[in-house]
């Protein structure tokens, strides 16, 4: 194992004729992190994953996975992948599909039985191991795909919308699996448009829209700016304007809304209002959710 | 090694398909039916056939049965080859496989090898059984039975390689239809060439030569016919002069070694084009 990032992209771009699917993606994903790649449908998320796996060719830029240039066979050696369009040989049993991927992933034959049993147990398909995949529901096929992605203890796992076909229990299970993977030191690249999913499991997030990353960072960095609503009277216009030092102030009659302010500064804000002669009746700090942030970013971009 | 993994996967997939079993069942039925039919050819009017007459009739009927095998094999090869790559890409099964450390070339060669193996698994036992049954019933063995099997298998390999190359870019149905049309055009082109030979028309002969070079399915079929023609029929045809060449179900000579070398090169080239085309495409 080398010490570099798990995934690094440098101006990675993809065009399909006149359509720009990915416009110069630059990002670094440290090893051992759960990275959420978030964006609306058609933002370029799946394109990015396909480029990383050499399934599509970049129109520009470059990228490395585990230090190896994308497109080369070596870059896929220690990588597990669950495609968005997951489909496995319907005429095979779940065990046979996993055995096929053990073979393709060049896993030592002696370890197959353990690898397959472990994968089936992790995704909850042990009791259907010998059933034909063609008889599986979509959710079960997605579970199988997740099991396939986990074979051989990969260093990087790319999950493209891994819960799209799952019920709430299945989604919960997948979140638990992702946390377990992180605990085992794996890097998880989670492609999703499900904000709550990303918010619950990801360490870092990139929000992509129209093929461009419009925000990137840890969840704290992205959601650090909160909104505070203060019900106040007897505050002069000048005093209200001075509150701009805390954040963007919106005057809504008796309520003042200050956006983009760290919660730690809340006592200072209240103290300044009182010093200026204001009478405070209520203070309502509101933590900005990823959804709020996501929508505001997309709104700003449009 | 990964080539063999994909080849094995392809063979297993085809063997587990109902289509293969249906094809095998129907072929066995046809073999049983034709074998019974061969046993019925014993008289001319009310008098019994001479041995020479029987061989003449049986050998020519066997050529027609051979054409059925050639036709069935070409169709099977096209239907197996045409969706082999495009089907996997369209369904999404290719995504998980090609994300593994496997090259596109290994994937394509593995698919080709798998379909070829399946075709051999079908063609060799069924044609051998057909020839064996004819031998048991009318005690007739064509002069070159091994070559017959080899030539119609080679014809199927050419059809398959064409269908596979089309499958790198076209949907299964589209590639299959194109491959079948080209197979038919090659067959007719071969007949035009034979008619040209009979009529000593050089333009028609050139058409035949060009089609046999561009798509050597008919060239291989001609080899299969030659393998089934008994010496007596060949001698009689030679005595009849160039007019005998006009019969699309007759061939007096085997394909030249140089032509067979071209067919091998054609298959290698077709596979090379398929690999190049599939390597360039996005999944």
ipTM for the complex shown = 0.85
CA–CA distance, A54 with A64 (Å, rounded to integer): 11
Percent residues over pLDDT 70 in chain B:
99
Chain B residues whose CB is inside 8 A of the A103 CB are 2, 5
3-state secondary structure of A192: strand
Burial class (CB in 10 A: 0-12, 13-18, 19+), A10: middle
Percent residues over pLDDT 90 in chain A:
47
Mean pLDDT of B166-195: 93
B215 contacts B190 by C-beta, under 8 angstroms: no
Whether residues A86 and B97 touch (CB distance < 8 A) is answered with no
CA–CA distance, B146 with B123 (Å, rounded to integer): 12
Q: Out of A53, A77, A87, whose CB is closest to B91?
A: A87
CA–CA distance, A37 with A205 (Å, rounded to integer): 6
Interface test with B, best of A54, A73, A89, A145 (most B CBs within 10 A): A89
Chain B residues whose CB is inside 8 A of the A54 CB are 98-99
Q: Does B103 touch chain A (CB under 8 A)?
A: yes
CATH 3.30.70.980 in chain A, residues? 223-297
Mean pLDDT of A14-30: 89
B208 contacts B196 by C-beta, under 8 angstroms: yes
Q: Does B15 touch chain A (CB under 8 A)?
A: no
Whether residues B283 and A79 touch (CB distance < 8 A) is answered with no
pLDDT tens for B21-60 read 888 899 999 999 999 998 888 888 888 888 888 888 889 8
3-class secondary structure per residue, chain B = CHHHHHHHHHHHHHHHCHHHHHHHHHHHHHHHHHHHHHHHCCEECCEECCHHHHHHHHHHHHHHHHHHHHHHHHHHHHHHHCCCCHHHHHHCHHHHHHCCCCCHHHHHHHHHHHHHHHHHHHHHHHHHHHHHHHHHHHCCCCCCHHHHHHHHHHHHHHHHHHHHHHHCCCCHHHHHHHHHHHHHHHHHHHHHHHHHHHHCCHHHHHHHHHHHHHCCHHHHHHHHHHHHCCHHHHHHHHHCCHHHHHCCCCCCCCCCHHHHHHHHHHHHHHHHHHHHHHHHCCC
Whether residues B282 and A55 touch (CB distance < 8 A) is answered with yes
Closest CA to A36 of A208, A220, A163: A208
> Of residues A138 and A211, which shows the higher confidence score?
A138
Q: How far is B100 from chain A (nearest CA, A)?
A: 6
Interface test with A, best of B21, B101, B104 (most A CBs within 10 A): B101
Interface test with B, best of A69, A83, A96 (most B CBs within 10 A): A83
Mean pLDDT of A182-191: 92
The predicted pLDDT at position A224 comes to 63
Q: Out of B2, B95, B103, whose CB is closest to A83?
A: B95
Mean pLDDT of B244-257: 82
Whether residues A55 and B92 touch (CB distance < 8 A) is answered with no
What global pTM score does this model have?
0.86
Residue of B nearest to A16 (CA): B282
Q: Out of B5, B13, B100, whose CB is closest to A89?
A: B13
pLDDT tens for B61-104 read 999 999 999 988 988 999 899 999 999 999 999 999 999 999 99
Which tokens sit at B251? 């061939």
Closest CA to A58 of A15, A93, A29, A94: A15
Contacts (Cβ under 8 Å, ≥6 apart) of A162: A82, A142, A145, A146, A174, A190, A192
The strand pairing partners of A37, in sequence order, are: A191, A206
* DSSP strand pairing (A187-192 vs A34-38): parallel
Mean pLDDT of A284-302: 71
Q: Please identify which residue in the block is written with the tokens 């599986």.
A: A136
CA–CA distance, B107 with B87 (Å, rounded to integer): 14
CA–CA distance, B197 with B247 (Å, rounded to integer): 10
Q: How far is B128 from chain A (nearest CA, A)?
A: 30
Chain A residues whose CB is inside 8 A of the B107 CB are none
The predicted pLDDT at position A102 comes to 96
* DSSP strand pairing (A204-209 vs A34-38): parallel
Q: Does B99 touch chain A (CB under 8 A)?
A: yes
Q: Does B235 touch chain A (CB under 8 A)?
A: no
Q: Is the pLDDT of residue B112 over 90?
A: yes
> H-helix or E-strand containing A59?
none
CB contacts < 8 A (A, B): 64
CA–CA distance, B207 with B201 (Å, rounded to integer): 10
Mean pLDDT of A246-273: 84
Which tokens sit at B18? 């109902």
Q: Does B96 touch chain A (CB under 8 A)?
A: yes
The predicted pLDDT at position A225 comes to 63
Residue of A nearest to B14 (CA): A91
Q: Out of B5, B93, B98, whose CB is closest to A89?
A: B93
Whether residues B16 and A91 touch (CB distance < 8 A) is answered with yes
The predicted pLDDT at position A123 comes to 92
Q: Does A37 touch chain B (CB under 8 A)?
A: no
Q: Is the pLDDT of residue A2 over 70?
A: no
Whether residues B95 and A85 touch (CB distance < 8 A) is answered with yes
* DSSP strand pairing (A34-38 vs A79-82): unpaired
CATH topology of domain A223-297: Alpha-Beta Plaits (3.30.70)
Angle between helices B51-81 and B104-138 (to 10 degrees): 160
> Of residues A83 and A71, which shows the higher confidence score?
A83
Kindly report the number of other CB atoms within 10 A of residue A137's CB atom: 10
Chain A (106-145) residues lying within 8 Å, Cβ to Cβ, of chain B = 106, 145
Q: Does A89 touch chain B (CB under 8 A)?
A: yes
Q: How many residues in total does chain B contain? A: 283
Q: Out of A77, A100, A148, whose CB is closest to B101?
A: A77
Residue of A nearest to B9 (CA): A100
CA–CA distance, B233 with B225 (Å, rounded to integer): 12
CATH 3.40.50.300 in chain A, residues? 7-220
Whether residues B282 and A100 touch (CB distance < 8 A) is answered with no
pLDDT tens for A206-222 read 988 888 888 888 877 77
B59 contacts B230 by C-beta, under 8 angstroms: yes
A228 contacts A267 by C-beta, under 8 angstroms: no
Q: Does A238 touch chain B (CB under 8 A)?
A: no
CA–CA distance, A203 with A29 (Å, rounded to integer): 10
CA–CA distance, B240 with B238 (Å, rounded to integer): 5
CA–CA distance, B242 with B199 (Å, rounded to integer): 8
Residue of A nearest to B281 (CA): A56
Average pLDDT over chain A, rounded to an integer: 88
In a 13 Å sphere around the CA of A167, the CA atoms on its Cβ side amount to 3
CATH class of residue range A7-220: alpha beta
The predicted pLDDT at position B105 comes to 96
Q: Does A83 touch chain B (CB under 8 A)?
A: yes
Q: Please identify which residue in the block is written with the tokens 């216009």.
A: A237
Contacts (Cβ under 8 Å, ≥6 apart) of A106: A77, B101
Whether residues B13 and A57 touch (CB distance < 8 A) is answered with no
Kindly report the number of other CB atoms within 10 A of residue B127's CB atom: 23
CA–CA distance, A52 with A105 (Å, rounded to integer): 17
Closest CA to B87 of B5, B4, B176: B176
B158 contacts B238 by C-beta, under 8 angstroms: no
Q: Is the pLDDT of residue B199 over 90?
A: no
Q: Out of A50, A88, A104, whose CB is closest to B102?
A: A104
Q: Does A23 touch chain B (CB under 8 A)?
A: no
Q: Out of B5, B92, B96, whose CB is closest to A148?
A: B96
CA–CA distance, B138 with B57 (Å, rounded to integer): 11
**pLDDT band at A302; cut points 50, 70, 90:** very low
């Amino acid at each position: 194992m080398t010490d570099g990032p798990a995934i690094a992209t440098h101006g990675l771009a993809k065009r399909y004729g006149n359509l720009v699917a990915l416009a110069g993606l630059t990002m670094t994903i440290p090893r051992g992190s759960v990275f959420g790649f978030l964006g609306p449908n058609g933002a370029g998320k799946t394109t990015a994953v396909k480029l990383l796996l050499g399934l599509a060719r970049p129109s520009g830029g470059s990228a490395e996975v585990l230090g190896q240039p994308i497109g080369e066979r070596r870059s896929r050696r220690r990588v597990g992948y669950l495609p968005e369009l997951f489909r496995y040989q319907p005429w095979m049993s779940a065990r046979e599909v996993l055995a096929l991927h053990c073979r393709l992933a060049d896993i030592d034959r002696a370890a197959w039985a353990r690898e397959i049993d472990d994968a089936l147990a992790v995704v909850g398909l042990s009791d259907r191991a010998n059933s034909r995949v063609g008889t599986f529901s979509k959710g079960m096929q997605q579970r199988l795909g997740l099991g396939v992605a986990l074979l051989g203890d990969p260093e990087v796992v790319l999950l493209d919308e891994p819960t799209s076909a799952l019920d709430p229990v299945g989604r919960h299970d997948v979140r638990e699996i992702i946390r377990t993977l992180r605990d085992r030191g794996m890097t998880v690249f989670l492609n999703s448009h499900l904000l709550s999913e990303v918010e619950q499991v990801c360490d870092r997030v990139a929000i992509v829209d129209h093929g461009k990353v419009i925000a990137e960072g840890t969840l704290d960095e992205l959601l650090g700016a909160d909104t505070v609503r203060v019900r106040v009277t007897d505050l002069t216009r000048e005093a209200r304007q001075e509150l701009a030092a805390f954040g963007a102030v919106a005057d809504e009659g008796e309520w003042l809304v200050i956006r983009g302010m760290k919660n730690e500064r809340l006592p200072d804000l209240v103290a300044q209002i009182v010093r200026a002669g204001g009478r405070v009746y209520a203070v309502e700090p509101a933590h900005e959710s990823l959804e709020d942030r996501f929508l505001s970013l997309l709104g700003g971009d449009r | 090694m990964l080539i063999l993994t994909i080849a094995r996967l392809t063979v297993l997939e085809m063997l587990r398909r109902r289509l293969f079993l249906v094809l095998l069942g129907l072929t066995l039925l046809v073999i049983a039916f034709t074998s019974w039919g061969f046993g019925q050819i014993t008289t001319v009017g009310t008098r019994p056939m001479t041995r020479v007459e029987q061989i003449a009739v049986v050998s020519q009927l066997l050529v027609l049965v051979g054409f059925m095998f050639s036709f069935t094999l070409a169709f099977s090869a096209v239907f197996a080859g045409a969706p082999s790559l495009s089907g996997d890409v369209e369904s999404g099964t290719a995504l998980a496989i090609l994300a593994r450390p496997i090259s596109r070339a290994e994937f394509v060669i593995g698919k080709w090898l798998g379909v070829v193996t399946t075709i051999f698994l079908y063609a060799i036992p069924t044609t051998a059984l057909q020839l064996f049954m004819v031998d048991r019933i009318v005690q007739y063995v064509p002069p070159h039975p091994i070559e017959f099997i080899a030539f119609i298998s080679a014809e199927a390999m050419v059809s398959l390689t064409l269908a596979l190359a089309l499958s790198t870019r076209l949907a299964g149905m589209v590639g299959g239809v194109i491959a079948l049309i080209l197979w038919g055009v090659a067959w007719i082109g071969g007949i035009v060439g034979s008619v040209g030979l009979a009529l000593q028309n050089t333009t028609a002969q050139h058409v035949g030569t060009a089609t046999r070079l561009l798509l050597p399915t008919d060239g291989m079929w001609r080899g299969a016919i030659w393998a089934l023609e008994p010496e007596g029929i060949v001698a009689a045809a030679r005595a009849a002069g160039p007019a005998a060449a006009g019969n699309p179900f007759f061939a007096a000579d085997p394909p030249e070694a140089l032509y067979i070398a071209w067919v091998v090169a054609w298959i290698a080239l077709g596979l090379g084009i398929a690999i190049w085309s599939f390597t360039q495409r996005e999944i």
